[in-house]
Structure 1
Amino acid sequence: MDLINRSKKTEKSAYYEDGEVIDKIKHKPGELPKKQFAPRNSVLTDLWEIKHIRTIYHIFLAMLFGLFINTAAYDYLNKGEVRLGFNLIIKGFSKFHFLLIIWKCMFLVNFLVYYGFKLWATIRIQVKPKTKYQLFWDRSWIVLIITYYLGFIYFFTSTIIKMEMPPAASITLLSEITRFLMKSHAFIRSNAPIVLKYKSHNSKGQERYCPKLGQFLYFCFVPTLIYQDSYPRTNRIRWSYVAYCFLEVIGVIFYLSFLFERFLVATFEDYGLKPYRWQDIILTILSNTAAGMLIMLTTWYAVLHAWMNGFAEMVRFADRMFYKDWWSSTTYDRYYRTWNVVIHDWLYTYIYKDFIEIVLLNNRIAAKYIVFFLSAAFHEYILGFTFRFCLPILFVQFFGVGVAMTYLKFKQNCIGNTVLWYTNALGMSMNTAAFAIEYYCRANRPIENVTISSYFIPQMFQCNEIYN
């Protein structure tokens, strides 16, 4: 509640517009709005204070208990043992110690960004301005930055593959690779203009040209991808709240394990060993929309509410708007802006805004397509190297269907919101089914001669006898 009380002071300063929270305001006429941080709670944190809304939380707890009973009964009656989805958790994190080691290496390598930037900035302000030496120095470091980005991706991705990390550990590390790269780019992009404008011969009254190491270190852990020298902070850390948030994350892991065990493993684990009819697969996808919706909601809740709020509390980060009320969206255009505010802020600030103002000169349509392409590519990168095969269904959904859906409008909000919910659930069911089929097909009938092409060619159409 302390965040709410403090945020009330900022309600009159353009943080609310037509009843909707906004977090970007214009500082100069004609420019695109910039991200503004303010002390505020996550939307669900405030909603859970309402007794009737809190009931929804209790419903999900009841569903978790129901899944527990359902999975236990299914295991005992059909397989004579009770696994409760624990096998998936054990297999998924079987190399947890290696996960910690690889993450620690990523974190230490990330310091090259800070010291490299500091070296570039320190020497640049000493070089005579507007000379070929300064131009050479700047261009050399641009090449080094790009090389670092590519090298970071290649080295740690190949390490994950060589260590044969299981899917759960792989998706965690690949997401961290992406997060570290986004943090690095945000740090460089936010501070480079200050160095470019810095005049060493007239340093009196000039702002700093390089942040302190502590500021960079804090940014590495703070739950935002937008760099600032300082952020709104809370007065204290509520360790009981931190513990509760991380207990929720653990609870969701079991929740997902029950869902995967009951609706995916039980359905598709024999794929490649016995024939399946296309009709059965289609019916399975259609009947699993409820499970797909649960997977979508619980994963979102664990990452963007429980995990983010827990970390924010530990580092005393006061702006908890990691998402907005995306569930009330009636168009995909608004849904993409509100589902994950953390990622959207980075894409908007460092891709969309930069391309419009610097590269494309106000071509908003092209900038929009670039944002969708980049988002789709990195989603495909994470899933592709997690499961060790390329199944570009998510890329098509993001960059193809996703872009098209942003132009779809409904006159009635009820229809728009209903379509959004059902298509999300159906899409999630299709994704999980497709990846489960391909995964078990490759597991049950391994490829004898593995080549680069086998990574890109789906095996689901070759390893199983499909009949009508």
Structure 2
Amino acid sequence: MECKELNDGLHQRIKQEKMIEVNKVNEDKNQPLNNNEKIKTTMSIKQIHEQMQKLREDTINQVDEHLQDMVSKMVEGIQYIDKNNYESRYEKYYNDKKKVVEGDVLAEKEFQVRNSMITDLCNEVNHLRALYNICVTVLFILIVNTAVNDYATTGSLQLGFITLKSGFSKFSFVITVWLLMMMFTIGVYIAHTIWAQKRMELSPKSIKIWDNSWLFLFVIYQIAFLIIPPKLIMNNDLPPPCSCIILMEQLRIVMKIHAFVRSTVPSIISYKSHTENDKSPIPGFSNFIYFMFAPTIVYRDNYPRTKEIRWGFVTWHFFEFFMTVHCMTSMFERWVIPTYKNYGLEPFNLQKFILRYFNTVLPGSIIFICGFYGLLHTWMNACAELLRFGDRLFYKDWWNSITYARYYRTWNVVVHDWLYIYIYKDIYEKIVPRNKLIGICSVFFISAIFHEYIIGFSLRLFCPIMLLTFGGMGFALVFLTRHVTSVFGNIFMWFSLITGSGLLVCLYSMEYFARINCQKHYDNIYDLIIPRFVLCYVDDMR
């Protein structure tokens, strides 16, 4: 009991002392601070504020750096995924060549089943489908504009059918010439088979004479095939559209025959029979016929094929083709012919010439686009579907090109493949090894010559505008724009294509109507090689 009382007393004593200390502290707080104490308190608060501000800034900077790193990694990841998706989705359009096997051997063309790029893009990208609908709407408005103009000026609706009718007035003769050309083409296969079979039976001493004799006959055939169709065109005075069809078919057949002979001769020459079961290197007649109609001018014994023919696909693309042809004739009838038909009948005026040119830029551009879409997309796809030809890579995305080198490689893949394999590749590997410049010059020269050949004989004139623009300016632009990497390269390409199309339509139309309206100054070859529209200008200056 005593211990308990003593313990309670100590606890009470301690509690009282604590109460006294608490009261003293409260009294100290209630008393005002002196000046020194106030200064110390203010300084401590300022330091704490500065430290907090510094901590805040450091925290924000660290968070900002972490966010930037995270965003950069996310963007890189998205770009990587997007690039992989793009390459995997559109790889089939770009990997159309086999890899190089040796240093002196260039890549070969590789055929595979794939759609045309516009076909896939319209199916996959709704925005492009909307752009397609806009183009159709614009063309429809242009046709309505033509109809209104026809009715206002003539009181009837022509809608380009007059030009269409006059341009194809001798289409039956075109069919006759085409059938004759195909008959002579079949004769080439027969002669080629005779040469190959007989060659296998000859002694080594006689083979050289045999080969050279047939090579001479083949060269004579190619030259005759280039001379006879233009002569028939001139003698029968075919209109320009009919002439153009014959000449384009003529060059197509010449290129196919060259490809067929060039591709099969090496295997025939190197063939050595060891057993009776050895496969003959001579292609079958069915392979030859299929190649002559297939939408390619690179020969292979077999091509990848589709499983069936989609007749709705064929019908729609043929319909689009005829609509693009009608649109082109409407452009000529509505804008080009009225603008230039009186050239040479009135004095030359520089201001009027400039107005004529700029009035031709828009229809010239539409003719350019319609020509691409009608021939390389609608016509080629329709023919490929009929033949179940699997590889529809007739063009690539040339509209995205920022250099002219890429534009020429992607604009017309069908012709580019032939020029690459049978001209450039042969020159690079066999004639002038490892000399790219000579190969490029040869390709441009041959391409420019035959472009001018078609235009010249179709219009009955020699005005080498295409030769100068394509073979001259176009060749130079390949080297001038090869290091361009910005979007301005694509803008420049489109600007030059649009203005160049207008210039070609302008100058060729001037020369065409000048040869109708202006008198001849010479009765010899000078009248052919000197542009008549220049002579009209000289007469006006006098």
TM range (shorter): over 0.9
Specify which of 139, 145, 148 is matched with residue 212 of structure 2: 139
**Which segment is superposed worse, 282-291 or 234-243?**
282-291
Q: Provide the C-alpha distance between the structure 2 equivalents of 1:106 and 1:33, rounded to a whole number of angstroms.
A: 33
2:328 pairs with 1:253: no
SS at 2:532's partner residue? coil
Q: Provide the C-alpha distance between the structure 2 equivalents of 1:239 and 1:17, rounded to a whole number of angstroms.
A: 26
Gaps of 5+ in 1: 1-10
Cα deviation for residue 430 of structure 1 reads 0.6
**Contact map agreement 1:15 1:23 (CA 8 A) in 2:** no
2:162 pairs with 1:162: no
Q: Residues 444, 83 of structure 1: CA spacing in aligned structure 2 closer, same or farther, 3 A cutoff? A: farther
Q: Residues 318, 428 of structure 1: CA spacing in aligned structure 2 closer, same or farther, 3 A cutoff? A: same
Indicate the residue corresponding to 1:7 in structure 2: none
What amino acid sits opposite 2:113 in the alignment?
Answer: P
Specify which of 109, 114, 129 is matched with residue 35 of structure 1: 109
Cα deviation for residue 291 of structure 1 reads 2.3
Q: Provide the C-alpha distance between the structure 1 equivalents of 2:194 and 2:525, rounded to a whole number of angstroms.
A: 40
Indicate the residue corresponding to 1:74 in structure 2: 149
Q: Residues 42, 293 of structure 1: CA spacing in aligned structure 2 closer, same or farther, 3 A cutoff? A: same
Q: Provide the C-alpha distance between the structure 2 equivalents of 1:406 and 1:182, rounded to a whole number of angstroms.
A: 25
Q: Residues 119, 259 of structure 1: CA spacing in aligned structure 2 closer, same or farther, 3 A cutoff? A: same
Cα deviation for residue 287 of structure 1 reads 4.3
Indicate the residue corresponding to 1:48 in structure 2: 122
The alignment covers a number of residue pairs equal to 454
What amino acid sits opposite 1:439 in the alignment?
Answer: Y
Specify which of 414, 417, 425 is matched with residue 345 of structure 1: 417
Q: Provide the C-alpha distance between the structure 1 equivalents of 2:407 and 2:423, rounded to a whole number of angstroms.
A: 19
Deviations 1:362-419 (A, max 9, x none): 1110111000000001111111100111110100112111110001236442100000
Indicate the residue corresponding to 2:471 in structure 1: 399
Indicate the residue corresponding to 2:257 in structure 1: 184
2:396 pairs with 1:324: yes
Cα deviation for residue 83 of structure 1 reads 2.2
Indicate the residue corresponding to 1:244 in structure 2: 316
Deviations 1:308-364 (A, max 9, x none): 000000000010000000000000000000000000000000000001111111111
Deviations 1:228-271 (A, max 9, x none): 01000011111111111110011001111121122211110111
Specify which of 511, 515, 534 is matched with residue 438 of structure 1: 511
Gaps of 5+ in 2: 1-83
Q: Provide the C-alpha distance between the structure 2 equivalents of 1:451 and 1:59, rounded to a whole number of angstroms.
A: 51
What amino acid sits opposite 1:72 in the alignment?
Answer: A
**Structure with more helix by fraction:** 2
Q: Residues 100, 450 of structure 1: CA spacing in aligned structure 2 closer, same or farther, 3 A cutoff? A: farther
Deviations 1:128-176 (A, max 9, x none): 23x2x21111111111111000011111221111111110000010000
Q: Residues 44, 466 of structure 1: CA spacing in aligned structure 2 closer, same or farther, 3 A cutoff? A: farther
Q: Residues 223, 15 of structure 1: CA spacing in aligned structure 2 closer, same or farther, 3 A cutoff? A: farther
Cα deviation for residue 203 of structure 1 reads 4.5
SS at 1:190's partner residue? helix
Q: Residues 418, 163 of structure 1: CA spacing in aligned structure 2 closer, same or farther, 3 A cutoff? A: same
Indicate the residue corresponding to 1:86 in structure 2: 161
Q: Provide the C-alpha distance between the structure 2 equivalents of 1:344 and 1:271, rounded to a whole number of angstroms.
A: 37
**Contact map agreement 1:15 1:21 (CA 8 A) in 2:** no
2:448 pairs with 1:373: no
SS at 1:281's partner residue? helix
Indicate the residue corresponding to 2:366 in structure 1: 294
**Contact map agreement 1:198 1:206 (CA 8 A) in 2:** no
Q: Provide the C-alpha distance between the structure 2 equivalents of 1:172 and 1:211, rounded to a whole number of angstroms.
A: 29
2:534 pairs with 1:461: yes
**Which segment is superposed worse, 290-299 or 241-250?**
290-299
**Contact map agreement 1:277 1:466 (CA 8 A) in 2:** no
Deviations 1:258-288 (A, max 9, x none): 2112221111011111123123223332343
Give the structure, 1 or 2, with the largest relative contact order (CA under 8 Å, sep 6 or more): 1
Cα deviation for residue 187 of structure 1 reads 0.3
Deviations 1:190-210 (A, max 9, x none): 00000110124x255644221
Specify which of 133, 143, 151 is matched with residue 58 of structure 1: 133
Cα deviation for residue 454 of structure 1 reads 2.0
- TM-score under structure 1 length normalisation: 0.92
**Which segment is superposed worse, 33-42 or 286-295?**
286-295
SS at 1:168's partner residue? helix
Alignment of 1:351-362 (within 5 A): 351-362=423-434
**Contact map agreement 2:93 2:117 (CA 8 A) in 1:** no
- Aligned CA-pair RMSD: 2.2
**Which segment is superposed worse, 212-221 or 105-114?**
105-114
Indicate the residue corresponding to 1:307 in structure 2: 379
2:306 pairs with 1:231: no
Indicate the residue corresponding to 1:6 in structure 2: none
**Which segment is superposed worse, 187-196 or 273-282?**
273-282
**Contact map agreement 1:245 1:310 (CA 8 A) in 2:** yes
**Contact map agreement 2:521 2:527 (CA 8 A) in 1:** no
Q: Provide the C-alpha distance between the structure 2 equivalents of 1:305 and 1:121, rounded to a whole number of angstroms.
A: 37
What amino acid sits opposite 1:60 in the alignment?
Answer: C
Indicate the residue corresponding to 2:225 in structure 1: 152
What amino acid sits opposite 2:508 in the alignment?
Answer: F
